[in-house]
Amino acid sequence: MSIPVPRDDLIDFVDDIDDVDRSGDGRGGHPVWTVLVVDDDDEVHHATMFALQNATVLERPLKLLHARSAAEARAILEDRGHEIAVVLLDVVMETPEAGLDLVAVIRRELELAEPRIILRTGQPGYAPELSVVRDYDINDYKTKSELTHVRLVTALTAAIRSFEQIRTISVSRRGLDMIVQSASELFGRRALASFAEGVLTQIAALLKLEPEGLICVRSVATLAQEADAALTIAGAAGRFREHVNRPLAELAERDIVATIARCVESRGSLYEPNATVLYFSGESARAAVVYLQTERPLDPVDRRLLEVFAVNIGVGFENVGLFERLNFYAYFDPLTRLPNRVSFIEEVDRFLGSPAVATDYAVALLDVAGFAEVNNALGQRTGDALLTAVARRLRAAFPEGVLLARLVGDSFVLFGPATILVPPNLLRAFDSPFHARGHGVPLRIRAGFAPVSRSVDGLLPRAADLLREAAVALGQAKLDPAVRYCAYSAQMAGQARKRVVMLNELRAAIDFQRGLTVHYQPQVDAVSHELRGVEALIRWRNERGEMVSPQDFIPLAEYTGLIGEIGAWVFRQACQQLVRWRQAGEVGLIVAVNVSALQFRQEGFVDMIRGTLDATGAPADCIELEVTESVAMEEVDKVAAQLRALKSLGIRIALDDFGCGFSSLGSLSRLPIDRVKVDRCFVAELDPDNAGTGIVHTILRLAEGSGMSVVAEGVETAQQADLLQRLGCREMQGFLYGRPMAADEFDIWRGQFREARLA
C-alpha cells in the first residue's frame, strides 16, 4: 500500500528523532508524547514521520516508535506501554483482523487503559463495528488517505488531549490512594521525628522522587525547655538526616535556610524550580515547614496532589502536636517545667531496675513551710512565680545527674547520690530570699530523706516505697517546728502507723465529744501569794483509757488541720468555765488559752473568738491568748494586725515558750504583746551559782524595757522560785504550786491555796 504524500506537507525528512528523551510521561527533563506507529507498510511509516516531523502537540514534541507487525508492536507495548500516548494502528496486517486483535491484547491482556488508539485502514469502505470501538476504547478511525500533516496532527491532538486527561485522572487516583494510605500510616505515628520522616517519605513516593528534604518546626519538641522562636529540624530524609534535632540555623546550605525563612515570613507555601516548601501553621504545632528538594518544577498534577496531601499533613501535625502536648502534661509539670510525679517514679524505677546499681542513692522530699499562707497573702501569681524560682534554685543547686521533680503544690523531690543529697546542700539553696514579681520572700523548707537500701532478701526498693519513706520522714520533721529535716528509719514507719491510728481516734473524740476535757493550771504571784489566773490545757483520754499527751497529739492535729476545731472547742470550754467561776465570786481570775500557729492563720479566727465571747458572756479582759514564737515570726505585719484586732476586743496576748525559737527581738517589739512566758527549759537550767548571767536574766531585762510582764513556766522547786524572785520574776506557773487540774479539783486546790496563804 502506498499513501499519497501531499506536496505542501512535504518537509525535511528526519530519520531519527529517537534522541529525544525517552520518557513520555511528563516526569523526565524534556517531556514528549510517544506515539507508536504500527503498520506492515514501510511507506506508511515514512509518510507518518514526514507528516509529524517537528510537530508539537499541546506544547510537547512527538516521539515515534515503529512496529511493522502486530507481534513487534506487542513486544514494544509490553516493554514501554506505560509511556505510549497514542497507537496509530493499521487494521489489516498479517491477517485481516491483526490490528483489532492487537487492540484486544492492549486493553485486555496488557491492561493498558491509557494509550489512545487511532485505527487506520487503506480501505475507505471498511469500518469496525461500533461495539468494537466502544468496548476497546478506540478513539478514532481514519483512512490512510486522510493522514495529511494537518489531519494527522488534528487527530493526534484530540487523542493526546484525551490521553492526558485519562493520565491525570489515573495519576491523581493513584496519588489519592497513596494519600489515603499514607494518612492512616502517618496518623499512627505519635512522635514528631517519626511523623516528619514519614511525611517526607510519603511525599517523595507521591512525586516519584528520592526522599531528600527536611521538616522544621517551632517549639513543639522543645516544650520541656523555655519556648524559643528558633526553628528546629524535627525530621529529615536523605542527606539531611544527620541534622535531626538541630537548629535549622546550623545548616551549611545557606540557600535552603534562606528559602525556608522566606516561606515562614510569607506564611505560605513556595514552589521553586528546584524545591517545594510547604508551610503549615497550627495551634499546637506552631509553624511547621516541609522543605523538599525536587530538582524540577512540579507539574500541575503533582502540585494539586501535594495540596491535597498537605491538608492531611496539616491535620497530622496538629495531632502529633496535641499528642506531644498530652505527653508533656503526662510527664511534666507545666508550671515549673520539671518532671512530675509519674515521670519521677518511672525514671527512678528504671534506674533501680538497671543492673549494678549502687545503693548509696537517696530520695529527698521537701516542702515549703507555710507556702499556703504566702500564696494567700501575695496572690496565686506570685505564688506560682515563687515555685518556679524554687524549681530553678533547686535545679541549679544540684548537678544534672540528680533527678528533680515537682510532686504537687509546694512539694519537690530529688533523687541522686546520697553524698550529694545531704541536708546542708538542700538547706543552702534556701539561704537567701526568693524574688518574684517585686517581692523578696524568704522561704523555709522541711525535708525528709529516704536512703536506698536493700531489703533483708537483697531486693532494692521501688520508687513508690522510697517516696513513701521520705514522706514519713518529712511528716516526722513537721511535727516539731524546730526540726528542719529527718531521715527515714524503720521505726518511723511504726510511729507513722501509730499516728494514723491516733488521728482516727482523735477525729472520733472530737466528733462524739468523747474523752476530751480541759484542765486548769494555776499561775500565782510568788511574792503576794495571790492567784493570778489559770492556763487552760487540753486533756485526752483515748478509747483504751490511756491519757495521750498534748505534746503528741497537738502537733498531729496541727499537721492535719484538726487543730481548728480543737482550739475552738477548748476556747469555748474555757470561756464557759470562766463565767461559772465569776458567778461563784471569783472575779479577778484570768484564763489563758493556747492558740496554735495554724489556728492563728486560719481565716475567721478573730471572728470565732469574738463569737464565742458573745455566746458565753465571758469578759474579754479576763482572757489571755498564748501564742508561740513561731506565730510571731511569720509575716510580722499580718500577725501584728491580727493581734491588734484581738487586743481591740480587750484580750491580752502572751508569748508562750519564749526563748525556744529564734525570734528576732526587732520583730517582737513590733507586736502588741502583754506578757512573756519563760520556757520551762530555762527555768530547769537556772543555776544558783550563776543567777545573774542566765538567759532568764536577759529575758527579764528585755521584757521590762518593753513594758511586758513575765511569767516563768515549769517551776518545780522552791529553789527555782527563789532564784526567779531574786531575778525580778514574780509570776510563776508550775508543779510547785499546782498541776493542771479538772475544774472541780481546781476549786478544791484554790480553797487550800487561800487557806495556806492566810495561815
Which residues of the shown chain bind Mg ion in the complex (CB under 5 A)? 594, 626, 656-657, 713
- The listed partner (Mg ion, ligand C2E, none) that binds 316, CB under 5 to 8 Å by sort, is none
Could you tell me where the beta strands, DSSP code E, fall in 285-349? 286-293
Please report how close the Cβ of residue 591 comes to ligand C2E at its closest, in angstroms.
11
Q: How far apart are CA 117 and CA 36, in angstroms?
A: 9
Closer residue to Mg ion, CB minimum distance, 324 or 656: 656
Listed in sequence order, the residues at least 6 apart from 82 whose beta carbon sits closer than 8 Å to its beta carbon are: 25, 112, 114
Q: Say which amino acid occupies 601.
A: R
Please report how close the Cβ of residue 322 comes to ligand C2E at its closest, in angstroms.
51
Closer residue to Mg ion, CB minimum distance, 294 or 599: 599
Pairing of strands 623-628, 590-594: parallel
Residue in this structure with the C-alpha cell 518544577, named with its chain if needed: 297
Please report how close the Cβ of residue 442 comes to ligand C2E at its closest, in angstroms.
25
- The listed partner (ligand C2E, Mg ion, none) that binds 635, CB under 5 to 8 Å by sort, is none
DSSP bridge pairs for 63? 34
User: Using an 8 Å Cβ cutoff, are 570 and 578 in contact?
Assistant: no
Q: How far apart are CA 243 and CA 266, in angstroms?
A: 24
Closer residue to ligand C2E, CB minimum distance, 126 or 735: 735
- The listed partner (Mg ion, ligand C2E, none) that binds 232, CB under 5 to 8 Å by sort, is none
Please report how close the Cβ of residue 630 comes to Mg ion at its closest, in angstroms.
13
Closer residue to ligand C2E, CB minimum distance, 410 or 535: 535
Q: What is the grid cell recorded at 125?
A: 469502505
Closer residue to ligand C2E, CB minimum distance, 375 or 521: 521
Closer residue to ligand C2E, CB minimum distance, 436 or 678: 678
CA distances from 614 to 572, 577, 578, 607 (A): 11, 14, 13, 10
Please report how close the Cβ of residue 561 comes to ligand C2E at its closest, in angstroms.
13
Please report how close the Cβ of residue 713 comes to Mg ion at its closest, in angstroms.
5
Query: Of 32, 165, 44, whose CA–CA distance to 99 is shortest?
Result: 44
Closer residue to ligand C2E, CB minimum distance, 144 or 499: 499
Closer residue to ligand C2E, CB minimum distance, 196 or 592: 592
Please report how close the Cβ of residue 594 comes to Mg ion at its closest, in angstroms.
4
Max Cα distance, the chain (Å) = 161
Please report how close the Cβ of residue 740 comes to Mg ion at its closest, in angstroms.
10
Closer residue to ligand C2E, CB minimum distance, 118 or 570: 570
Name the residues that contact ligand C2E, by CB under 6 A: 521, 537-538, 549-551, 554, 567, 570, 594-596, 626, 656-657, 680, 713-716, 733-735, 740
Q: What is the grid cell recorded at 368?
A: 515549703
User: Using an 8 Å Cβ cutoff, are 620 and 650 in contact?
Assistant: yes
Q: How far apart are CA 167 and CA 299, in angstroms?
A: 13
Please report how close the Cβ of residue 659 comes to ligand C2E at its closest, in angstroms.
12
- The listed partner (Mg ion, ligand C2E, none) that binds 550, CB under 5 to 8 Å by sort, is ligand C2E
CA distances from 633 to 271, 442, 502, 551, 671 (A): 69, 12, 30, 21, 10
User: Using an 8 Å Cβ cutoff, are 520 and 743 in contact?
Assistant: yes
Q: How many residues does the chain have?
A: 759
Is the sign of the CA dihedral 228, 234, 236, 242 positive or negative?
positive
- The listed partner (Mg ion, ligand C2E, none) that binds 551, CB under 5 to 8 Å by sort, is ligand C2E
